[in-house]
Every structure is written in C-alpha cells, then in structure tokens.
Amino acid sequence: MDFAGITPTNFIENIIVDDLKSGRVNNVVMRFPPEPNGRLHIGHAKAACFNFMTAQKFGGKCNLRFDDTNPVKEDADFCDQILYDIRWLGFEPADILYASSYFDYMRDCAVKLIEKGLAYIDDSTPEQIKNMRGTLTSAGENSPFRNRSVRENLALFDKMQRGDVKDGGMVLRAKIDMASPNMNMRDPVIYRVLHAPHHRTGDKWCIYPMYDFAHPLEDAIEHITHSCCTMEFEDHRPLYDWVIDNCDIADKPHQYEFARLSMTDTVMSKRYLKQLVDSGIVDGWDDPRMPTLSGLRRRGVPAHAIVAFCNEVGLAKAVGTVDTAQFHDCVRDELNATAKRYMVVPDPVELDIINIPDDFENFVEVTEGGDYSVPHPTAIDPEVNNTPVVTRRIRLSKRLYINREDFMADPPKGYHRLVPNGLARLKNSFIVRCVGFDTDDKGNVTRIRVEKTDEVKAKGVIQWVDRDTAADIKIKSLSALVPDGDGDFTERINANSIAVGSAKAERGVNDIPVGEGVQFFRIGYFARDAKETDAFNQVVELKSSYKTTK
Ligand code: ATP
Ligand code: MG
C-alpha cells in the first residue's frame, strides 16, 4: 500500500497513507507535546522519534509543543532541557510552541460551550465531585449545579477569572452525560482555579484548563493532522472528539494511540524519576543510571543508538516490556562502529623490558575509531562510517603496566597470554619474551621481566600502559538502579548500583571529552563523567547478554 514511493511500516503510517489518498489530509502535521514538569526519558524519545520521523517521512512537519497548562509543576528550565534533548536526538522542530500561548483561545472556547449550554460552573468540593462520579458499574449523579442558567454560568466563570474564587472553590465542567459508560465523559472538569503564577504568562491567569480540554484545542490551533499519544488516552478520545465537535473546529485533528515504551529493570514515569531526584538517591535528572536522555548522554550513550533502538522497537498498540539488554545491544553496535579505543589497565602489575635502554622512548601510532568492517547500524546517517581515521601516539618505554590476568606463572592449558619463557605481543608493538618475575611473601607477582625480541609471531596480545606517563582514573561499573521485582519501586532500589574501581590508563585518556563513549580494550565502553571528571562511567559491557535474530 505504497504512497508516492513511501512504504508504511506501522499502523499509523497506514492511516496516514489512507488519509493522503482520500484527501482528508494534504500535508501531514504532527507534534511532540511534552509537559515541562521533568526531563525527557527514553520513553519520550520513542514518541519524539516517531512523531518527528513520521512527519519527515511524509514530507510534513512536526512541532515541539510544551504542554504547559499546570504552572505548579512546570518551569522554563525544563523547557530548555527538553529542547536541548530533542536537538541532541537530531530533530529540529518546525515550530517551538507553548500551550500557554493559547490560553485566551481556550477561554473563548469555554465561553462558547457555556453559551451553548454545554458547560456549567460547579461549586461542589473536589470530594463531592468525586463521590458523584459513580463507578465503572454504576452511573454517576448529576450535580445540583448542573442546570444553572447560561447567564449565571457566564457570570461565575467571569468571577473565577477575576480571582474572586479560591483554589478548588469552583470548577467549570463540560455537560455531557453522568451515566456514560465512559467515566471520562461524566461531566469532566475542564477549567479550575489555581492562584499560581505561570512561567510564561505570569499573573495573567488564575484559571487553568485541564489536559483533556486543552489538548484537542492545542492540536486544532496548530492544524495537527495526526495527534499521536500513548494507549492510556484511548478512553479519552471520545472526549477529545467532543471538544473538537462542540468548539466548532473545522479542520478536525484526529487522535491515535500507540503503546508506551517500558523496559526491564527501569522505572520510567517522570513521577518516579522526580522522586529519585528529590530524595537524593541519584545526583540529579542526569545521573548516569537514570533512563533520562540527559542521564544517558552523561553516561556516554550516543544519540544515534537511542534513535536506532526506537526504530528497532517500532510502533504497535500492544503493550510489552522491552528487555533493557536489547537497548544495550543498540548502544554497543553504535559504539563498536564509532568509538575510539584506549588501553587501560584496571589491575596493574609492573612489567620491565630489560634489554632496552633506560631512556628508550618509542611512540606507537594507533588508528582511532571504530571497527570499520562493521556496518554502521543507525538509520539516520549510514555515512558516519566514512569518518576520517585519526591517529594517536602512545608512549612506550622500558617501564610498563600490564593487567594481572595477562600473566600466569603456572598457566592452565589453553592460556595464550604471557607465561614464563613464553612470547606475547605488546598490543600495537613488538613481541616480548618473559624471562622472569618477582613475587612478594604471599606469592603475588609484583614485577615481570621481559625481553624485546625480533619474533614475528605470538599467540597472545596483551595491552599495556606506560608507567611513567600513566594517568590514574576511576572506573565506575553501573548496574540497574531499580531492578524488577515485587512491591513499591522505592523498596527495590539497588544500593550497589555503582561499583567504583581504579585503573592506570594511557595518557591520551586525558583528552577524551566529557560524555564521549570510548572503548577500553577488553574492559568495556566508558565515558568521562561530567561532574566527577577523573571518573569514567561504564556505558555498556563489551559483550552482549542479549541474543537477537536481527
Ligand atoms: P510520564 O508518564 O513518564 O510522566 P507523561 O506521559 O506524563 O510521561 P508527557 O510529557 O505528557 O509525559 O509526554 C509527552 C509525550 O510523550 C506524550 O505524547 C506521551 O504519550 C509520550 N510518552 C510518555 N511516556 C512514554 C513512553 N514510556 N513511551 C512512549 N511515549 C511516551
Ligand atoms: Mg502527561
């Protein structure tokens, strides 16, 4: 069912193709509508990727719209962070818009509903309104204020706007049907009193619209053609359509729902993430263990990997939980193709090359960059593979460190690294033969002595770090902050989610910019932390624990 050479790949794209063919829509206009009450997480990335990439695919446009209708929880800083994250993912919004810019229009729509006898002011307390709502199996009750005259309703709505009503003192409700089997249609509240300044409109308003009323109007004013949100809004769609129909909107936007992203060993809701931040369990929204985009960025996850993952997960209506290991696989694929490689020794033992002069100094040229035999995995920019290869020079002298596990005095069969009298290649350099070693009184190896040889073949390759110029770094292995399990998430917080170790590293690590994911040979992918700059966070492990049939 192609359209103009475009092949739809999910049910919403099928709908778009139908709409374009039937002429309901000429230009696709979409939006990503975050509420600026927290930072974006990887679930939001799924929605953002979908909206921006679908609009792009059909030659349409996608806005970033801040859904800022609740001044109590929202602020300008969150708006800035969200925009930064969206651009980091690689998307440039067609327009950057704010729901709060439409407050006048929304108020006018509310007045229109009152005039049509389709909305009324209710003086009941929130408690009373809740009690009159009924249940899933029983109808609700009409409010005693339901049959107020249009005149009285207009006057009271005016009073609400003037600031003469205290918070919670009155609400404006849509007059729909208290017996509707859909609870959302039982005279929902559409405006409330909130004496709170707004980060954009200041003190202009003391009434604020509720989401279900505001959202369709925001879509209408922006001529959104396909308003896509997550499944929990499916039951709200009749109300969405009611608002559109009764506010006399000609160019009707349509709402479609898809499954939200949830992942194993991760809490995703902003509410929970905020709790982690506020309680100090994490060091901010950008803690590298958080599933926020700022956390993932600080951890060293490339934006491309997030986009690739969202594309791989795809879009469906069925809710499922994605294995976090699948995400890590996408990160690994990306870093394998793009990350620079460094030699780092976490468990150092000294190694002396005894047959070279004390002042021997050699600079080993290494090519930086990924394994270019691996095709670049992301959909966005396959050309990344052609990044020029840069070289770095690594100092090699008589005095080195190697990893303790790369030498065995009494090796088992099949051990191919350094052993007494055996040969091994120093990575990127010559081959050495082990001629002796020292131990302490507990039998631990303290120093290994080798000789440089002219041999050209050795089974083992070992990495090393120059002792005189080595950098001391911290390495942090990160595991799930909130592993899956029973009970409240606060009871599942993993107190050992950061394991700190130290390492000797080649001097070049000092030049690795904050947040850039690199590979430490044989150890894993790491990135320098933004706050603790001598520490490197583990991005992902070197080996996959996730088997795909990709
Ligand atoms: P949370 O439940 O995490 O607090 P939210 O839905 O309240 O998120 P919004 O800022 O309102 O956050 O979301 C902006 C957009 O992102 C909405 O269209 C919403 O449907 C979508 N979205 C939020 N969470 C997810 C998720 N886990 N997967 C996919 N889309 C999501
Ligand atoms: Mg929300």
Question: pLDDT of 343-366, one tens digit each?
Answer: 999 999 999 999 999 999 988 877
Residue 270 is a catalytic residue: yes
Question: pLDDT of 437-466, one tens digit each?
Answer: 999 999 999 999 999 999 999 999 999 999
Residue 115 is a catalytic residue: no
Choosing from 35, 312, 368, 541, which is the catalytic residue?
35
Residue whose CA lies nearest to ligand 1 atom number 1:
269
Among 230, 266, 309, which residue has the most ligand 1 atoms within 8 Å of its CB, making it the best to mutate?
230
Span 390-402, mean pLDDT? Answer: 87
Q: What is the pLDDT of residue 544?
A: 80
Choosing from 39, 65, 270, 417, which is the catalytic residue?
270
Q: What HEC string does 299-330 produce? A: HCCCHHHHHHHHHHHCCCCCCCEECHHHHHHH
pTM of the full structure: 0.93
Compute, in angstroms, the gap from residue 306 CA to the centroid of ligand 2: 21
Q: Residue 295: which of 438, 545, 497, 520 has the closest Cα?
A: 497
Query: Which phi and psi (to 5°) does residue 81 adopt?
Result: -65, -40
Given pLDDT bands bounded at 50, 70 and 90, which one contains residue 534? very high
| Residue 210 contacts residue 83 (beta carbons within 8 Å) | no
> Quick one: DSSP state of residue 382?
G
Lining residues, ligand 1, CB within 6 Å:
33-35, 43-44, 46-47, 229-230, 260-261, 268-271
Look at the block and give the residue holding tokens 């993993």. 494
Percent of the chain predicted with pLDDT > 70:
95
**Residues whose Cβ atom is located within 5 A of ion ligand 2:** 35
Span 24-35, mean pLDDT? Answer: 97
